[in-house]
Amino acid sequence: MKKMVCLSCILFLLCISTYGQMQISFKPIFNKDSISVLKFYVSNVQILYRDGTKFKENNSFRLLDIEYIESFLIILNAPSKAIEKISFDVGIDSTTSVSGALDGDLDPIKGMYWAWHSGYINLKLEGKSKACSTISNEFHFHVGGYRSPFYALRRIDVPIVNQMGSSVAIQMNIALLLDKINLKQINNIMLPGKEAMQIADYLPQIFSNK
């Protein structure tokens, strides 16, 4: 009897630990020479399954940094089933932005925080383009802001058409983003404002699952 209890306990624990894992890998698309910095926050991931059920991760904030390519693979403790749609925020919401000193991926030492103008940088994108008539043709985009009317967080919905078992790839088309930006005129954003909002508005168009 005791053995049976022990065994079922172990089995139960095993089930919990392996119960569903979904892997979402972000695949940035860009010309390798053109990008030197790509860092952005993916938060509040939600999965809508084809059977109508949902998986939601609240108050989760992940910093994806091209310097640490492993950060582009997100593992969720979510059931492995056919997915209809994956949704997430690029950036940090306003409530979290006013919550004082935070840690983990939200630690200000991660270089994604404005000190004199409190708030997170949702997306940092730096590189070179011939279209920029700047020093060494560089562009620097630090896109963020949580105060109205310059709230730069964007919700992204990606319909899933191509799923490999428990893993899904989401393409992030940086090349397309750079095409959309008029680099001749806009090549240096260091503050929340109209220009940051413009770039944020392009974000929903650059994520896809093909």
Partner 1 sequence: MIIGVILILFLYVFFSFVFTEQKNIHFHVPEGWPKPVYDFKQNRLTEKGFKLGSALFFDPILSRDNSISCASCHLSFTAFTHADHKLSHGINGRIGTRNSLTLINLAWNTSFMWDGGVNNLEVQAINPITNPSEMNHGLSNAVDALNASPRYRKMFYSVFKDSIITSQKLLKALAQYTSQLVSYNSKYDSVMRKEKNVSFTQNELNGYTLFKNHCASCHTEPLFTNYGFENNGLSMDTVLKDFGRMMITQDSKDAFKFKIPTLRNIEFSAPYFHDGRVNTLKDVINHYTSGIVVSASLSKQLQQPIILSEKNKKDLILFLKTLTDKYALYNQRFRYNYSETLTK
First to last CA, the chain: 52
Residue 201 engages partner 1 in binding (rule: CB under 8 A): no
Q: Catalogue the long-range contacts made by 159-165 (C-beta closer than 8 Å, 24 or more residues apart).
A: 159/84, 159/85, 159/209, 160/83, 160/84, 160/85, 160/86, 160/209, 161/209, 161/210, 162/209, 162/210, 163/82, 163/83, 165/80
Report the amino acid identity of residue 78.
A
Kindly tell me which residue out of 98, 133, 157, 184 binds partner 1, with binding defined by CB under 8 A.
98
Report the amino acid identity of residue 42.
V
Kindly tell me which residue out of 116, 130, 135, 164 binds partner 1, with binding defined by CB under 8 A.
116
Span of 58-66, 99-107, 168-176, 181-189 interacting with partner 1 by CB under 8 A? 99-107
Minimum CB separation of residue 7 from partner 1 in Å reads: 25
Residues in 172-191 at the binding interface with partner 1, rule: CB under 8 A: 191
Residue 97 engages partner 1 in binding (rule: CB under 8 A): yes
Choice between 184 and 194, CB closer to partner 1:
194
Q: What's 34's DSSP letter?
A: G
Determine the Cα–Cα distance for residues 11 and 68; give it in Å rounded to an integer. Answer: 35
Residue where the block lists tokens 């919401």: 93
Minimum CB separation of residue 113 from partner 1 in Å reads: 7
CB 116 within 8 A of CB 109: no
Residues in 132-161 at the binding interface with partner 1, rule: CB under 8 A: 147, 150
Both structure tokens of 26: 């972000």
Kindly tell me which residue out of 3, 100, 165, 210 binds partner 1, with binding defined by CB under 8 A.
100
Span of 54-62, 108-116, 170-178, 202-210 interacting with partner 1 by CB under 8 A? 108-116
Kindly tell me which residue out of 50, 56, 117, 184 binds partner 1, with binding defined by CB under 8 A.
117
Residues of this chain that bind partner 1 (CB under 8 A)? 97-103, 107-109, 113, 115-119, 147, 150, 191-194
